[in-house]
Structure 1
Amino acid sequence: MIEVERLTKRYGPATAVEDVSFACRPGTVTGFLGPNGAGKSTTMRMICGLTPASSGTATVLGVPFRSLPNPGRHVGVLLDASAQHAGRTGRETLALTAQLLGVPSARADQMLETVGLAGKAAGRRVGNYSLGMRQRLGIAQALVGDPSVLILDEPANGLDPEGIYWMRTLLRGFADRGGTVLLSSHLLHEVEAVADTLVVIAGGRVVANGTKSELLAPSGRTLVRALDPAALYTAVVSANLTVIRREPPTSDGLGEGLVVEAPAEAVGRAAAASGVALTELRQAGGGGLEELFLTLTGRPAAPAAPRPPAPAGPSVPQEALR
């Protein structure tokens, strides 16, 4: 369980995070989303006790992170995979973590196997790892203590499509066994596939917070396109309808579109009254999480990675890591 209440962080006159509140419950994956500079990493660092809050509170398992006895046994954290010691091997890194947390050394080898770094990869120095391999090692390090909570900032960064699918399966399984996951990522398709709850932050403030089904439910907005986009815009505005945003032309030749805050019937009548020929008229909302993100933040997210075929199991062949 993670609970954040009115969390605020100021740096002099600048406010990085303002009045942020949300909760992550056992058995769920919470997707924590927002454009670059929105305050996601700052919020996660405050939850983990690495950055002091200006005001508000953040608790993990009912207490501030710093009050947890041997916190790695309760909370697995991955905020920056590049922060690992470059001179140690993967096995040495996890063996040292196991020793510090007071868990059997065999746990290190178990986690190397789980994340696909067993064998030769375990004996390589971390400085020679690819970004994806360092991410895998960071996830393994977060899991060594057998925690009940995971806090992960961009864990899919550097993973190939098969690795992303593996990570999604791992996180879903962790939550289904009763664990709590807070996941920050720019890969919206992957978040949509694994998350139960979504928290969207923009400009340091929460702009959406709810279950995936609630936030991605069909809206009362309409997507409309016409042969003459300029005439369409004039017709919609003249009918006192609100244009939320413009949509780019489609790959199959349909021109620029508009997302309008009105039912399809009202938009169609406005176009007909001005003699505008439409090429598309439908309820907006088919864009899923990406459309929600664009609507709330006004910025595009990182492109989704290609969807890979489902592997036979959670382990990944060593050659896929290189």
Structure 2
Amino acid sequence: MITVEHLTKRYGAFTAVSDVSFTCVPGTVTGFLGPNGAGKSTTMRMISALTPPTSGTTTVNGVAFRDLPNPGRHIGVLLDASAQHAGRSGREILSLSAQLLGVGQKRVDAMLELVGLAGAPEKRRVGNYSLGMRQRLGLAHALLGDPSVLMLDEPANGLDPEGIFWMRGVLRDFADRGGTVMLSSHLLREVEAVADHLVVIGNGKIVADGSKEDLLHAGGLYVRGLDPATLEKALTEAGLSVQPTRDGGFSVASDAETIGRTALAAGVVLLELRAADSGGLEEMFLRLTSNHDTFGSNPDSSKDAA
């Protein structure tokens, strides 16, 4: 389990993460989403004790990362697939880590086989690996200590469609066996395919936190009128939550009778009034984060702009 409570990180006058709280529970894949510079990587770096928080706490299975005995046996972390020694082979990198973690070479063999690097690829220097191969090695490294928690930042970068499908299966199997997965990715369709829970961050603050099913089916009603501007004004003045859609209609959190009576009172002819389509994760993401794109404003590492 990963628990984040009231986490804040400031760099001078700039607040990268502001009072963030959420939980990733065993048996689930949690998609951690947000636009560029929203604070995703800063949050993940604070969880893994690479960046000290200004305030707030994070724990892994109830213990702060820095207090975990042999942390790699509890949480597997992949934040940057390129952060590997380019002059060593894939097997050498895993073998050295296996010694530190206290696991045997059979575990190294099993992980190389799992990620498709057994045989000739394991003997090649990592500097000659493609990005996809480095991602596979990074996942093998995260799984090496047989942890109960995985935290992965953009693990599918550089993978071809077959590799992405394979990655999805590995993560789903890990969670189905009781593991906890926290996954950050810009590949929204892949997150939608594998995640059970979604946490969306924008401008350093949590803007959505809930099960995938609940968040993707919370669209309310869709309404479209002959005079969109007047309709929007009437619905807003009636105190209803109104979200414009791309086709000139509106998603409204209310019931059909209230919407219909409001439109009638405003003299607006309705063309459509029905249950709103969920639009999928991409539509929800754009709706929730449309005012939160902060690319270039985060003074932390350039990785955090992702």
- TM-score, normalised via structure 2 length: 0.85
Deviations 1:247-297 (A, max 9, x none): 335xxxxxx44434444566567389757573x543224212222222221
SS of residue in 2 equivalent to 1:3: strand
1:296 counterpart residue number: 288
Alignment of 1:109-258 (within 5 A): 109-222=109-222, 224=224, 231-238=227-234, 240=237, 244-248=242-246, 256-258=248-250
1:282 aligns with 2:274: yes
For 1:116 and 1:21, locate their aligned partners in 2 and report how far apart those are by CA, in whole Å: 36
2:232·2:242 contact (CA, 8 Å) conserved in 1?
A: no
2:220·2:251 contact (CA, 8 Å) conserved in 1?
A: no
Shift of the 277–58 alpha-carbon distance from structure 1 to 2, 3 Å rule, reads closer
2:78 counterpart residue number: 78
For 1:199 and 1:89, locate their aligned partners in 2 and report how far apart those are by CA, in whole Å: 36
1:13 aligns with 2:13: yes
For 2:154 and 2:136, locate their aligned partners in 1 and report how far apart those are by CA, in whole Å: 12
2:49 counterpart residue number: 49
1:35·1:297 contact (CA, 8 Å) conserved in 2?
A: yes
How far is 1:243 from its partner? 7.6
For 1:30 and 1:99, locate their aligned partners in 2 and report how far apart those are by CA, in whole Å: 30
Question: Residue type of the partner of 2:230?
Answer: T
Question: Residue type of the partner of 2:289?
Answer: T
2:219·2:251 contact (CA, 8 Å) conserved in 1?
A: no
Deviations 1:55-91 (A, max 9, x none): 1110112111011111111110000111111111212
Shift of the 247–112 alpha-carbon distance from structure 1 to 2, 3 Å rule, reads same
SS of residue in 2 equivalent to 1:134: helix
What is the number of residues matched between the two proteins?
290
How far is 1:158 from its partner? 1.5
Question: Residue type of the partner of 2:246?
Answer: P
How far is 1:119 from its partner? 2.2
Does 1 or 2 have the higher relative contact order (CA < 8 Å, sep 6+)?
2
Question: Residue type of the partner of 2:90?
Answer: G
How far is 1:10 from its partner? 0.6
For 1:12 and 1:236, locate their aligned partners in 2 and report how far apart those are by CA, in whole Å: 41
Runs (5+) with no aligned partner, structure 2:
294-306
1:111·1:140 contact (CA, 8 Å) conserved in 2?
A: yes
1:259 counterpart residue number: 251
For 1:47 and 1:97, locate their aligned partners in 2 and report how far apart those are by CA, in whole Å: 21
2:94 counterpart residue number: 94
For 2:291 and 2:166, locate their aligned partners in 1 and report how far apart those are by CA, in whole Å: 28
2:296 counterpart residue number: none
1:94·1:108 contact (CA, 8 Å) conserved in 2?
A: yes
Alignment of 1:25-36 (within 5 A): 25-36=25-36
Runs (5+) with no aligned partner, structure 1:
250-255, 302-322
SS of residue in 2 equivalent to 1:81: coil
2:87·2:126 contact (CA, 8 Å) conserved in 1?
A: yes
SS of residue in 1 equivalent to 2:82: helix
1:222·1:267 contact (CA, 8 Å) conserved in 2?
A: no
Shift of the 165–299 alpha-carbon distance from structure 1 to 2, 3 Å rule, reads farther
For 1:138 and 1:116, locate their aligned partners in 2 and report how far apart those are by CA, in whole Å: 12
SS of residue in 2 equivalent to 1:63: coil
Deviations 1:31-77 (A, max 9, x none): 11111111111011000000001111101121110111111111100
Question: Residue type of the partner of 2:181?
Answer: V
2:81·2:135 contact (CA, 8 Å) conserved in 1?
A: yes
How far is 1:223 from its partner? 5.1
SS of residue in 1 equivalent to 2:76: strand
SS of residue in 2 equivalent to 1:5: strand
